[in-house]
A and B are shown apart, each in its own frame.
Chain A
Amino acid sequence: MKFTENGDIIQIEDLVFEYGRAEAEDGYDPHRGAAGGAIFPNAVDHVTLCVARGSFTAVIGRNGSGKSTLAKNLNALLLPTGGRVIVDGFDTLDEAALWDIRQRVGMVFQNPDNQLVSAVVEDDVAFGPENLGVAPDEIRTRIRDSLAAVDMYEHRKMAPHLLSGGQKQRVAIAGVIAMHPEIIIFDEPTAMLDPEGRAEVMGIIGRLRKEKITVVLITHFMEETLDSDRVVIMDRGRVAMDGTPAEIFSRTEEIEALGLKLPFAVELCARLRERGLDVPGDLLTEDELSAYLLTLYRKDGFPA
């Protein structure tokens, strides 16, 4: 059954998710609360959120803030205890829609090793389309296109264990792209990668955005949220802040109060402001900041 759409591809209405004893023992969520290992009574606590089609939303929060749990509610890996989640018109509680939802909502996980199924790259990319019952010739086309989209086509015959972390993660992304999803959810895709792999994966996310695929990025790296259309900060299962990166990062005290670290450029700007330098509020990336600092240098005519 499809619901009438209001244009937003993801509609989360008053979502509550509680880990029962069974799920907690299943180890479904690796984030069992911050230091004490305590499970929050409501891992997701009355969250209402809509995500626009084709947008790039970054969800950030400390360990145990419920961001991963929220993500797993979007493709029916977890089902709401209260409220509902509607994805591209399908209610995740509707059992008959389960496979429609999972085809539409692709997910890339944190651990690059534990999400590749086959011992050959191209066979792994084929896994999703095979499950969907796509014809073999069409699967071939999809493998070629999706591996090319992540620059891994020349590695198609390789064994995954011989690839670097970033390459494995790109193969995982190709495997999701090959299912022709509307939405791709990245659940901390760079947490286990080196800086190089991190840059590779973020580069691919930037490209997906140009392809009009809706991206939801769960992360705890502030820098990765800077290119997004919208930043959602989660805290103790609730949405603590929600807005464009420029809006969010102008509220520096609030962010620090939530126990999060500011992006480098934002923090440097804040410190410069404290010292009386009139830095504009919309400088988020290091490139923007250094460009601005260079204009200062020219105006003031410091000695060469």
Chain B
Amino acid sequence: MIRDITLGQYYPEYSRIHKLDPRLKIIVTLVYIVSLFLIEDFAGYAIALVSMGAVIALSKVPLRFMLRGLKPIILIIVFTFTLNMLMTKGTILWEWGFFRITKEGLYNAIFMAARLIFLIVGSSVLTLTTKPIKLTDGIESLLKPFRRFGLPAHELAMMMTIALRFIPTLLEETDKIMKAQQARGADFETGGLLRRAKALVPLLVPLFVGAFRIAQDLAMAMEARCYRGGEGRTKLNMLKFRRRDALAIGFTALYLSGIVAERILL
């Protein structure tokens, strides 16, 4: 069961969105997030909704995968919605004891919840259509200019690459240790919270020791393969800026001006 875990939430597909340069996708996602905070009314959201719908349709990723990202934060959405609804003063629509729902409150609540949903689904488009490795390449490339301020861009990307590679390995290791401990009578499933937390100690210690051993082996293997940091290193997958990327920039600019125009004019 551990063997077929998927990392991140990449959805394999050959779509125009998948093929875009990862750097561009990261930037467009950031632009989109900023644009959401420029929106002041529902007409603006209509533009955002239509644009996002178009991108999702182009990406060929089923909508339910897009919405799955909302699951972990559904509580936060409900919480903000309720607070906004109950705490805003204004024209009262409904009252019971000290609970009162105002017209402005309802408007605010829907507005904020919509913004959260747009945020999450928008960034899901990035992670669903970009392989973790490509994402890492993109981040490395985008952070490169900050190297002169001492930001270790290459090292960060290398750490992410190695983490992606070794998460399944460490999970397998955990599974092995757990089985070994269970075979000798360890109990990870019963008892109160404290008891269960205590039961994890004999699991974590060997896991940490194992992780350090792996790190040592890997460091030696990397050295043997001439690894000496990012200096003078080439990359197999050079990020190339293509025509479709230029097209994507055009559409993003169009979208952004639409949002700004809507805010100023309406």
Interface residue ranges, A against B (CB under 8 Å): 26-28, 75, 77, 99, 102-103, 106-107, 109, 111, 113-120, 122-123, 126-136, 139-140, 143, 159-162, 175-176, 179
Is B213 within 8 A of A27, CB to CB?
A: yes
Contacts of A143 in B (CB 8 A): 236
A-B contact pairs, 16 of them (CB 8 A): A26-B216, A103-B226, A107-B224, A114-B217, A114-B218, A115-B218, A117-B165, A118-B161, A122-B236, A131-B227, A131-B233, A132-B226, A140-B236, A162-B4, A179-B225, A179-B226
Closest 9 pairs between A and B when the two form their complex, measured CB to CB: A114-B217, A115-B221, A126-B236, A161-B168, A131-B226, A128-B225, A107-B224, A119-B165, A119-B164
Which among A114, A129, A162 has the highest number of chain B CB atoms within 10 Å? A114
Which among A27, A109, A129, A130 has the highest number of chain B CB atoms within 10 Å? A130
- The smallest C-beta distance from B221 to any residue of chain A, in angstroms, reads 4
- The smallest C-beta distance from B252 to any residue of chain A, in angstroms, reads 28
Interface string of B212-254 (1 = CB under 8 A from A): 0110111011111111100011111110000000000000000
Is A120 within 8 A of B133, CB to CB?
A: yes
A130 to B230, CA, bound (A): 10
Is A77 within 8 A of B236, CB to CB?
A: no
Report if B147 contacts A (CB, 8 A). Answer: no
A99 to B231, CA, bound (A): 13
Is B236 within 8 A of A139, CB to CB?
A: yes
Is A130 within 8 A of B234, CB to CB?
A: yes
Interface of A is mostly: helix
A102 to B225, CA, bound (A): 7
Nearest A residue to B5 by beta-carbon distance? A161
Report if B184 contacts A (CB, 8 A). Answer: no
Contacts of B13 in A (CB 8 A): none
A127 to B133, CA, bound (A): 13
- The smallest C-beta distance from A9 to any residue of chain B, in angstroms, reads 17
Is A136 within 8 A of B169, CB to CB?
A: no
- The smallest C-beta distance from B64 to any residue of chain A, in angstroms, reads 25
Q: Quick one: which of B224, B232, B235 contacts A136, CB cutoff 8 A?
A: B235
Report if B7 contacts A (CB, 8 A). Answer: yes
Contacts of B224 in A (CB 8 A): 75, 77, 102, 106-107, 109
- The smallest C-beta distance from B45 to any residue of chain A, in angstroms, reads 38
- The smallest C-beta distance from A266 to any residue of chain B, in angstroms, reads 34
Nearest B residue to A160 by beta-carbon distance? B165
Contacts of B227 in A (CB 8 A): 127, 131
Is A136 within 8 A of B220, CB to CB?
A: no
Q: Please judge, given known A-B contacts A136-B236, A175-B225, whether A119 and B216 are in contact too, CB under 8 Å.
A: no
Is A134 within 8 A of B228, CB to CB?
A: no
A133 to B164, CA, bound (A): 24
A42 to B232, CA, bound (A): 38
- The smallest C-beta distance from A283 to any residue of chain B, in angstroms, reads 38
Contacts of A116 in B (CB 8 A): 165
Contacts of B165 in A (CB 8 A): 116-119, 160-161
A115 to B213, CA, bound (A): 12
Contacts of A113 in B (CB 8 A): 169, 214
Report if B69 contacts A (CB, 8 A). Answer: no
Nearest A residue to B224 by beta-carbon distance? A107
- The smallest C-beta distance from A296 to any residue of chain B, in angstroms, reads 49
A252 to B226, CA, bound (A): 41
Q: Quick one: which of A131, A134, A136, A162 contacts B225, CB cutoff 8 A?
A: A131
Is B169 within 8 A of A123, CB to CB?
A: no
Is B161 within 8 A of A117, CB to CB?
A: yes
Q: Quick one: which of B4, B214, B223 contacts A102, CB cutoff 8 A?
A: B223
Q: Quick one: which of A117, A118, A119 contacts B7, CB cutoff 8 A?
A: A119
Report if B172 contacts A (CB, 8 A). Answer: yes
Contacts of B4 in A (CB 8 A): 162
Contacts of A27 in B (CB 8 A): 213, 216
Is A117 within 8 A of B236, CB to CB?
A: no
Is B225 within 8 A of A109, CB to CB?
A: no
Which B residues from 82 to 113 make CB contacts under 8 A with A? none
Report if B71 contacts A (CB, 8 A). Answer: no
Is B217 within 8 A of A115, CB to CB?
A: yes
Interface string of B154-193 (1 = CB under 8 A from A): 0000000110110011001000000000000000000000
- The smallest C-beta distance from B209 to any residue of chain A, in angstroms, reads 11
Report if B3 contacts A (CB, 8 A). Answer: yes
- The smallest C-beta distance from A240 to any residue of chain B, in angstroms, reads 27
Question: Given A109-B220, A139-B236, A161-B169, 15 other A-B contacts at CB below 8 A?
Answer: A28-B220, A102-B225, A106-B225, A109-B217, A114-B217, A116-B165, A117-B222, A118-B133, A118-B165, A119-B161, A122-B236, A127-B222, A131-B225, A131-B228, A131-B233
Contacts of B169 in A (CB 8 A): 113, 161
Contacts of A102 in B (CB 8 A): 223-226
Contacts of B162 in A (CB 8 A): 117
- The smallest C-beta distance from B154 to any residue of chain A, in angstroms, reads 11
